[in-house]
Amino acid sequence: MKTKTWIQKNMPSLSGKVIAVSGSTGGIGVVLCEHLASLGAELILLDRNQGKAASLQEKLEAQFSGVKIRRIRMDLEEMASVKAAVCELLREPLDGLILNAGAYHIPRCKCDTGLDNVFQINFVAPYYLARELKAHLEARGGRLVAVGSIAHNYSETDPKDVDFSTRGKHSLAYGNAKRFLMYSLYGLYDGKPGLAVVHPGITFTNITAHYPKVIFAIIKHPMKVIFMKPRRACLSILKGLAEDCGRNEWIGPRWFDVWGVPGKRVLKTCKANEAEWICQTAEKIYEGMGTP
């Protein structure tokens, strides 16, 4: 099924709906915003690079007549920036928040919270956003859409190394953070409406462009052929705006979590005692962040 046909058959109009998107200028983010604008949504671009966000705004305004777009600076490595963004979002009539931003193969460092930056970008800051804005979204019948990853399968969490700061392997640090994000949100919503955990499968974006230059030059073209393009991969995210996920459910490509139109399935990758520990740890970290 063609992407446009799938959207016409499965997505309601978003006219008059205000949707905030983190990581809006990334590979998935740009095409996601294009899809949202085509459905009539008003967009709030949450991005640390305001130059890129302004360029995207200009592009979307030229492409979609009458589209309404606002920009809020937000750097997930800086909790002060995240808190400032929360204050602005609380003043918006928010119908949807898409936690799309993420970072994989980046120089590792400690943030001002004392936590590893991969952990903070992919879990701590997004969870804080979800926690602070949950009631605000619920008041309008809005929805939180969190982008997870198949990388959450790579390893179990470790109470002795919560942020995986001792693990040099980027895939483990990224997977651990996504595991925290997904299962903490399942606990936060506890099966109640308003949450969708989604994943795009594997697609060609900056997240996947992390191999050494020589290897990447060889594999990038086969990757573009083998895996779904971002425009199609982000259909799972769109579906998350139209359909809730229950506890431990996620929406993603139907075949092997890699190809096909979006489908929903129940995850069995985290035992109950680990999931409970993740939720407890998430709340402790959140409480240590303070209020905006």
Work out the angle at residue 173's Cα, subtended by the Cα atoms of residues 168 and 174, and round it to the nearest 5 degrees. 135
Report pLDDT digits (tens) over 118-169. 999 999 999 999 999 999 999 999 999 999 999 999 889 999 999 999 998 9
User: What pLDDT was estimated at residue 215?
Assistant: 46
**pLDDT, average across residues 261-269:** 94
User: What pLDDT was estimated at residue 291?
Assistant: 65
Structure tokens at 124: 């701590």
Q: What is the DSSP string of 167-180?
A: ---HHHHHHHHHHH
The rounded mean pLDDT for the chain is 91
- pLDDT band for 27, please (50, 70, 90 cuts): confident
Q: How many residues does the chain have?
A: 292
What predicted TM-score, i.e. pTM, was given to this entire model? 0.92
Q: What proportion of the chain, given as a percentage, has pLDDT over 70?
A: 90
**pLDDT, average across residues 219-223:** 51
Residue 207 DSSP SS3 = coil
The Cα 157–Cα 275 span in angstroms is: 9
Q: Cβ contacts of residue 91 below 8 Å, gap of 6+?
A: none
